[in-house]
Each structure stands twice: as structure tokens, then as C-alpha cells.
Structure 1
Amino acid sequence: MAAALSVIIGASSCGNRKADAAAEKEEEQIPAIGFRFSHLEVDSTSLRSGETFSTLMSRLGLGAQDSYRLTTLCDTVLDLRKLKAGNQVRAYYDTLGGTHTLQYVVYEQDMVKSTVFRCVDTLDVWNYSKPVEKQRRLADVTINSSLWNDMISAGASPNLIMNLADIYQWSINFFTLQQGDRFRIIYDQSVCDGEVVSIDTVRFSLFNGKDGKEVAAVLFNTGEGSSRTYWDKGGVSLKRMFLKAPLKYNRISSRFSYSRKHPVTGKVKAHTAVDYAAPTGTEVQAIGDGVVTKCGWDGTGGGNRIKIKHMRGYESSYMHLSKFAKGIKVGTRVSQGQVIGYVGATGTATGPHLDFRIWENGKPIDPLSLNSPASEPLNK
């Protein structure tokens, strides 16, 4: 009986030791961020405008000597000259025994990546990245108010808009989208802590316009250059000789007309251009490859003006620019999408906008109705 009791007690004791060891092991596990923080008090703040690393650390309670030592450890981890005002900062303090000692500081570089500074014992600095989930999604968006609002209503990230604008930059003018237009998209996105970090790849998109226009975009890599080549259902690349618009911002304030009342002079005259209203400084892009034939002041009211000669008898003009891009002058060869200048209100203008014009063999044509020549079809 005594022997049996001894065995039971021994087994029980062994079991308790195993349980204690498991508990200790679990307690010893360090979170992925690199330190335990459940017993620490956390204070959330953000980097202030004009604040440096040393002044931030001083504000959080770290001495100047330790702050300097941390800067020497950052060489291969974080460029302290590139700290961004407004980025989130978390400071962790030990408050046991009535103290308030700074232990760790976490600087969030972006939604995924953070830099951790250990401020006690052996000073150290390291980067930490949160887990990122890859998702494949389907979005079906019909325009009712605006593409931005309707994208959110459909449960998709507005970040997807810029991807679509890039894919369809030769075939759809996003300034002229109207109620009833529809996009259906299959795409991949990265998600961190329930927030969309990025739109990685648009696999397929189908645009159906209210006017009956249909444009499909199928991602296919031919192995002959860019891995982001999109083709229509007939195997023709969506890339065209000209972009649909010379900038990616805002709205059309005036359209092509042969009898428009000028907003400044009040006279009725031809306005063979499309005016894009946009903030001063908005980048203006060349709609196609070509050579700059004019770059300077236009004395007829156009202000700072650039004119480009393209292939097949086409020319394009960009007026009221605030300034020209670096290196742009008469004789400069430019490529499609290259920034050539910036929106302004120079010359005769009521506000910042771009006066954009196109000629075909010397005849002005409506940029919004331009049927841009296509590129070569996909080889079978």
C-alpha cells in the first residue's frame, strides 16, 4: 500500500514538474516584435514636424548619451535622416516601484515595417515586419456618384483606381466616366492587420461603358519585356501611340468647341482644346513619343507652352504651365508618359489648369475623341 502511494505521489510530482516546465517555456517565449511588453506601460505619440531622432528621444525620456549611442547602431537598420513627421511612435515604460523608465521605442515606418529601439541594458536597434496576407479578390463596381465612393461601396480599396488608370491610360479617359459605367476586376492584394497595404496585381478587368463601349484587359507576359502587359480579347495590346490624358488629376473644366465664350475676354471664339482643372504643380506628361518644337512663352495668352511633334503627322500642345520640367527645351526627345511640365495659370487664365490641344496633319481635333493608333497584336 505504501509502495503504491509512493508511486502515485512520484507520478504526481513528475507531472507537476512537467506542467511547471511547460508554463515556464511558454512564459519565456518572446513575441515576434522582439520583446515582452505585457507588463509595460505604453504611450502612443507621433513624430512632430521638424523633430529629429535625438529630440524625439529626449521628449520620451532618454538621456543624450544613450540617444547618441543608438544613432551609431542605426547605420544598417534605419536612415534617421528619413524619419517622417506624422509617423506613429510607441514608447514602453517600466513603472514598477513608482519608476517611469523608458525601456523600448517602436517607430512605425509604414503599415508593415517598424524599427525597435532598446533603451535599457545593452542598447540595440532592429527592424520588425508584421505578417502580410496575400488575397485574391473580385470587385464589381458601377459608377453612381464617383469612382472613389463607388469603389468603397463595392468593398474594394480605392488604391485599385490608380492601377486601373494605369492599365486603361490609352483606352479610357477617367475624366469622362459617367453614371452607369461598370468595372469588373480580378486582382491580388496584400493585407496587414485588416488593412489593404497594396494592390499587387490586376489579373483581369472588364470595362462596360453606358454608351456600349467595352474594353477588356487581360494580363499576359510574353517574356519580351515588362511583366505587366495587358491585352484585349482580340490579342491586341492596350498600349497605344497616345495616352488618353496628359495628367492624372481632377476634372475637365472646358471642352473642345468652335464657339466658346472666353471666361476672361467674354468674346465668342473657337476653343480647339480641352482644359483640365488641376492644382498648380500637378505633373503634366507627354501623351506620346516625340520631339519638342516649342518651349517658352506664348504671346497669344497661352503663357508657358510646350509643343511636341509626334509620328504620323500628329502634334500636341500644353499651355498655361507654371514651369517646365528639367531638361525640356526645343529639340528634346521625349517619351510617352514623361513629365514635361507642371500645371499653372500663366498667360490669360482665371485659375490653374492645363490647356491641351492635338493636331492631325495641321488640323485641330478633339483630344477626347482621338482614335489613337494601336500597337502590334499578340503573336499566336
Structure 2
Amino acid sequence: MDQWGIKADRVDQLLTLSKDDFNPRKWRAGDSYWLLRAKDSARGAAFFVYEPSVAEYVLFGLGDSLFVRKVERPKVTKERIVGGKIEGSLYATLEKQGVSPAVAVKLSEVYAWTIDFFRIQVGDRFEVIYEESYVDDSVFVGTGKILAARFFHNGKSFYAFQYQNTDASVKGYYNQEGEGMKRMFLKAPLEFARITSRYTMNRFHPVQKRWKAHLGTDYAAPSGTPILATASGTVVAAAYQSANGNYVKIKHSGTYTTQYLHMSRIGARIRNGARVQQGQVIGYVGSTGLATGPHVCYRFWKNGRQVDPLREPMQRADPLPRSLWSEFEPGMTARKAVLDSLSKE
């Protein structure tokens, strides 16, 4: 800023003032900025404006009294409705319609307990009503909440409707009958991956080169992908073993236990006795132990016996209280009609 007559000591003062609003290390080549000069004869620098994104800017006052102010541009929220048949992947299908990839992420979060997104197929169908944010009424700046959705998978429709009561004491996603979308266990320990080997009593082991039971489900993903606890519980093992590599084992109740193998590293503060929450990162995908490539082997015990988690029925979370049905039903019914009309196109 020296070229505009702003000396180094004043720049240092501005950076000190801006520590809560502006990080100079995040300044990137190509970011927009403006220098506004005073209207007097001296034409001295009066304001410096830096625009980190189209949604906000940082105003630096360069007069006698220095100041820094972060300003968020006014946003408007619009509802958008999209739908279609899956072609290759949910990402690809949404991309063809000019929809932000964030919608795919949010849908996977809504349905994390009910649909295994690693098993969706070409021909499955979705309809979704969601929020988009704009500045100046036309410049897209982000995706908001999923308001309602229908996913048609394996011959069945799965509806989800967002609801929050007036004091926010009850909130979440519910189906058309008021049942909560959440269940005790997530469908998978990764947000995005692909199943490479299912639970089976007879699989050719790629490292040991022999046929043996594979009592787990393998999810391939890039090294370093976060691995999530599929349910809340207590860590009973977090260690290294020659076959399992780095692994974590979690006891969820007197009935269920899960295990996650071949991690590149175990997550911070994940140790024996640690309490973990559903969806918490417990480690990262790797290929330690007997593994030919980066993946997580997910194992699942019920009453001390290993079972296939993809075939295990899971209890739902609490349903919507019946006292709130009169608030929930009108919005749900209207949005369901919109979703159903799209599915017939």
C-alpha cells in the first residue's frame, strides 16, 4: 500500500484491527479489491475495499481514525425444485441440471440412516425442494436447507420433510407419517465411497491368496477420507494389529459393537474408554495391515456374533410428537404434492 501513501506502521495497525474479520494469509491472486480516494484536492486514499467473495467484503477506513469492518451483502432465499432419474451417480445427475454439488451432500446427510448411497442404481429417482441464497437477486452464493425430498430406490419411495417447531425444541427430518429419519446406526461409515467387497462366507482374499469368510463390508475411498462412528458408544479398542492395521472398535450397547479396520491413522483423542458420538470422525481411510489399497473394512456384531450390517433392521429415532402433527401436516402435504407431481413427469 506504500504506492498509495499508506505507510507500513498504518498497515500494521489495520492488520491488528482486522484480526477478527480478515486473514491476510487467505488473500488469493485474482481476488477483487478497490481503492477509494477522497474528493478533495489531495486525492488521498480514503478507503480500501477487499472482496473475499461475492457475498461479503471488508472495508478498511484509511482516514485519521483507522477502522476495519466486515460487511455481508443482503441475501435473498429462494426455493428451487429439481428431480430426475439417476444417470451414473447422484453428483452427475445434479450437475447436468446445473445444481450445486452441495445438494448431493445434503441429501446424503438427510438419508444417511435410511438409504445406502453407495448402492443407488441407474434408474433410481429423486425429487427435492431446497433453498438457494442470492445477492442482488441473481448472483448465486450458496445452498441452504433441504426442505423436502423423495428418493425412489429399490422399488420404494423414501420421503423426508424438514420440520422445526416454534421454540426449536423439536427439529429434524420426518417422513409423511411423522416418523423420524434418524436411526441408531448410519448406513455406512463414510460419507462417500463405493462398496468393493460385501459380507460373505466365501471370498478370495487378495493378500493371503486363499478362499475364506469375509465378515465385513469394504468401502473404498481415497487415503485420508474421514471415517465416521456409525453410532454413539464407547471405544473398547484403538490400536494396531498386523492383519487389521490401525483399527478402532466401539461398543454401542449390550447388543451392538462395530469395528473399523486398515486406517491410515486413528483420530485425535480416540482411545480406550473414550465416548464417541454418531457421525464423529474416529480415523482416516488407509491401507495398513492386510490390505491392497485404501479402504475401510466395517465389521458389525450383534449379541457377540458378526452379521451383515446392510441386512440388519435398525430402530428409528423418536417420531414427531402427535401434539405437533397439526403444525407439520399442512406444509408436509403441500410439499408432498409437489414432489409427487414431479415424479409423474
User: Which digits, 9 at most, give the CA deviation of each residue in 1:236-266, with x for residues without a partner?
Assistant: 1111010011121332222222222222222
Instruction: Compare 194-203 and 348-357 and name the one that shifted more.
Output: 194-203
Query: Is residue 152 of structure 2 the alignment partner of residue 234 of structure 1?
Result: no
Write the distance in 2 (CA, Å) between the matches of 1:201 and 1:371: 28
2:257 corresponding residue in structure 1 = 315
Instruction: State the match for 1:44 in structure 2.
Output: none
Superposition CA RMSD, Å: 2.9
- Per the alignment, residue 254 of structure 1 pairs with 197
Aligned to 1:64: 8
Please, which moves more after superposition, 81-90 or 241-250?
A: 81-90
SS of equivalent residue, structure 2 residue 164:
coil
- SS of match in other structure, 1:246: coil
The correspondence of residues 18-167 of structure 1 with structure 2, limited to 5 A, is 57=1, 62-74=6-18, 78-80=21-23, 83-85=26-28, 88-92=31-35, 104-119=47-62, 124-167=67-110
Q: Rate the CA distance shift 1:195–1:318 in 2: closer, same or farther, 3 A.
A: farther
Could you say which residue in structure 1 is the equivalent of 2:141?
197
The answer to whether 1:360 aligns with 2:284 is: no
Judged with a 3 Å threshold, the aligned counterparts in structure 2 of structure 1 residues 353 and 102 are, in CA distance, closer, same or farther, namely farther
Distance 1:117 1:196 in 2: 26
Contact 1:236 1:377 in 2 (8 A): yes
SS of structure 2 residue aligned to 1:151: helix
User: d(CA) in 1 for partners of 2:229 and 2:301?
Assistant: 14
Determine helix, strand or coil for the equivalent of 1:174. coil
1:377 to 309, 313, 319: 319
Q: Is the 8 A contact 1:87 1:108 kept in 2?
A: no
Are the equivalent residues in 2 in contact too, given 1:308–1:315 (CA < 8 A)?
yes
Shift of 1:91: 4.3
Relative contact order, higher structure (CA 8 A, sep 6+):
2
| Amino acid corresponding to residue 12 of structure 2 in structure 1 | Y
Counterpart in 1 of 2:220? 277
Matched, 1:331 2:282: no
Structure showing greater Rg? 1
How far residue 129 of structure 1 moved from its aligned partner, in angstroms, is: 2.7
Structure-1 separation of matches of 2:31 and 2:257: 49
**Contact 2:48 2:61 (8 Å CA) reproduced:** yes
SS at match of 2:192: coil
Question: How far, CA to CA, are the matches of 1:102 and 1:224 in structure 2?
Answer: 49
Conservation of the 8 A alpha-carbon contact between 2:165 and 2:171: no
> How far apart in 2 are the matches of 1:341 and 1:334?
12
Checking the alignment, whether the CA contact within 8 Å between 1:157 and 1:196 is kept in structure 2 is: no
**Pair 68,291 (structure 1): closer, same or farther in 2 beyond 3 Å:** closer
Secondary structure of 1:311 counterpart: coil
Which residue is equivalent to 1:33?
none
Q: 1:72 and 1:304 mapped to 2: Cα distance?
A: 44
CA distance in 2, matches of 1:252, 1:59: 58
C-alpha separation in 2, matches of 1:348 and 1:58: 60
Structure 2 CA distance for aligned equivalents of residues 120 and 343 of structure 1: 53
How many residues are paired up? 318
What displacement does 1:212 show? 0.6
Listed as ranges, the gaps of 5+ residues in structure 1 are 1-56, 95-99
What residue in structure 2 maps to residue 214 of structure 1? 157
Instruction: Tell me the CA shift for residue 363 of structure 1.
Output: 2.6
Structure 2 matches for 1:283-302, cutoff 5 A? 283-299=226-242, 301-302=243-244
Distance in 1, matches of 2:139 and 2:116, equals 29
Task: Give the gaps of 5 or more residues in structure 2.
Answer: 38-42, 323-345
Name the SS for the 2:53 alignment partner.
coil
Q: Structure 1 residues 373 and 62, CA, compared in 2 at 3 Å: closer, same or farther?
A: same
Given that 1:141 and 1:154 are in contact with CA atoms closer than 8 Å, whether structure 2 keeps it comes out as no
Residue 170 (structure 1) shift: 0.4
| CA distance, structure 1, for counterparts of residue 59 and residue 321 of structure 2 | 52
TM-superposed CA distance for 1:356, in Å, is: 0.6
Q: What TM-score does the superposition give when structure 2 sets the normalisation length?
A: 0.81
TM-score by length of 1: 0.74
Distance 1:162 1:91, change over 3 A: same
User: How many percent identity over aligned positions?
Assistant: 36
Tell me the equivalent position of 2:328.
Answer: none
Asked if the contact 1:139–1:155 (Cα under 8 Å) also holds between the matched residues in 2, the reply is no
